[in-house]
């Protein structure tokens, strides 16, 4: 099985070449960009964002990088509510409206892009009516980083077309991918892509001999959880975790990391 996996990814004769750092974003693509939508003072707006991610399961957090210049930045920051919408490739021609021009200068850009807005069921966030999927989120934090701020939102509701039944079947939904833009002095062009057919592979989780290592991981974690649940203080917990780590020939200085992981899983507050 492992052999098969290796065969799948092995591409003979390829060597890595050095990539200029000013095109690094394009190295990270393709990504599925989301349309971030929000409303403030009866103004609904939205923009494409390629830089986004799920951040945590518990609580269910997503993050999206938004530059202060974006009109959507103001809408999200002022209202504290936003939605992330996923578009089918069939909507690719609307991309210039949501990703190239600002609602500050073209206030009805969403309508001009052919989008109708409806309300999320929980927060009433503006959602694109014929999106393939959307999530509603409550803003919990804005982290200032560099030229973009990282908006962290707690997801309170999610919606999807029928092609999603716990996983994307990809029978109907053709995700819209972004590959980046060319730079001046050439004519600036944005490159989008989709797949016309998919090669899908389903691999067993930790197959064959790998299951042994996954079993070990769970054993250690369960012992740690038990210890942290029972221990009267951090010192005792860490001491007992070190004993477990020794038993499994693991590095003793991982004890504090395991302690931290257990606290989060058990939903306990740190005592120190």
Ligand X SMILES: Cc1cc2nc3c(=O)[nH]c(=O)nc-3n(C[C@H](O)[C@H](O)[C@H](O)COP(=O)(O)O)c2cc1C
Task: Identify the DSSP state of 232.
Answer: S
* Span interacting with ligand X, options 46-54, 79-87, 134-142, 158-166, rule CB under 6 A: 46-54
- Return d(Cα 243, Cα 245) in angstroms, integer: 5
Interface residues for ligand X in 229-268 (CB under 6 A)?
Answer: none
CB contact at 8 A, 81 and 137 = yes
Kindly state whether residue 45 participates in binding ligand X, applying the rule CB under 6 A. Answer: yes
Measured at the CA of 135, the angle between CA 129 and CA 139, to 5 degrees, comes to: 125
Kindly state whether residue 29 participates in binding ligand X, applying the rule CB under 6 A. Answer: no
CB contact at 8 A, 132 and 123 = no
Nearer to ligand X, 26 or 190 (CB): 190
- Return d(Cα 20, Cα 116) in angstroms, integer: 40
How far from chain centre, in Å, is Cα 30? 14
Interface residues for ligand X in 146-205 (CB under 6 A)?
Answer: 148, 178, 190
Please identify which residue in 102, 139, 154, 157 interacts with ligand X, judged by CB under 6 A: 102
Q: Assign 82 to helix, strand or coil.
A: strand
Instruction: Name the minimum Å distance from CB 77 to ligand X.
Output: 12
Q: Which residues pair with 65 in a beta bridge?
A: 150
- Of all residues in this chain, which one has the CB nearest to ligand X in the complex? 99
Kindly state whether residue 26 participates in binding ligand X, applying the rule CB under 6 A. Answer: no
Phi and psi at 181, nearest 5°, equal -125, 150
Kindly state whether residue 101 participates in binding ligand X, applying the rule CB under 6 A. Answer: yes
Kindly state whether residue 37 participates in binding ligand X, applying the rule CB under 6 A. Answer: no
* Span interacting with ligand X, options 41-49, 54-62, 161-169, 256-264, rule CB under 6 A: 41-49
Residues that bind ligand X (CB under 6 A): 33, 45, 47-51, 65-67, 70-72, 95, 99-104, 148, 178, 190
């Amino acid at each position: 099985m492992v052999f098969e996996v290796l065969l799948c990814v092995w591409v003979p004769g390829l060597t890595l070449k050095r990539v200029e750092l000013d095109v690094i974003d394009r190295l990270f693509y393709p990504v599925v960009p989301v349309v971030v939508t929000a409303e403030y003072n009866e103004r609904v707006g939205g923009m494409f964002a390629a830089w986004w991610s799920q951040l945590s399961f518990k609580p269910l957090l997503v993050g999206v990088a938004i530059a202060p210049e974006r009109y959507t930045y103001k809408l999200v920051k002022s209202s504290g509510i936003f939605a992330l919408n996923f578009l089918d490739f069939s909507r690719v021609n609307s991309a210039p409206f949501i990703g190239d021009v600002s609602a500050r200068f073209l206030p009805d850009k969403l309508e001009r892009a052919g989008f109708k807005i409806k309300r999320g069921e929980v927060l009433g966030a503006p959602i694109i009516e014929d999106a393939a999927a959307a999530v509603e989120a409550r803003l919990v934090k804005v982290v200032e980083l560099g030229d973009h701020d990282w908006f962290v939102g707690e997801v309170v509701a999610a919606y999807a077309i029928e092609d999603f039944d716990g996983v994307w079947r990809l029978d109907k939904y053709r995700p819209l991918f972004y590959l980046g833009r060319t730079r001046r002095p050439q004519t600036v062009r944005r490159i989008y892509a989709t797949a016309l057919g998919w090669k899908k592979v389903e691999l067993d989780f930790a197959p064959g001999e790998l299951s042994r290592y996954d079993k070990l991981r769970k054993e250690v974690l369960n012992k740690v959880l038990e210890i942290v649940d029972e221990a009267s203080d951090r010192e005792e917990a860490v001491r007992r975790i070190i004993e477990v780590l020794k038993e499994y020939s693991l590095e003793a200085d991982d004890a504090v990391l395991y302690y931290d992981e257990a606290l989060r899983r058990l939903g306990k507050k740190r005592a120190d």
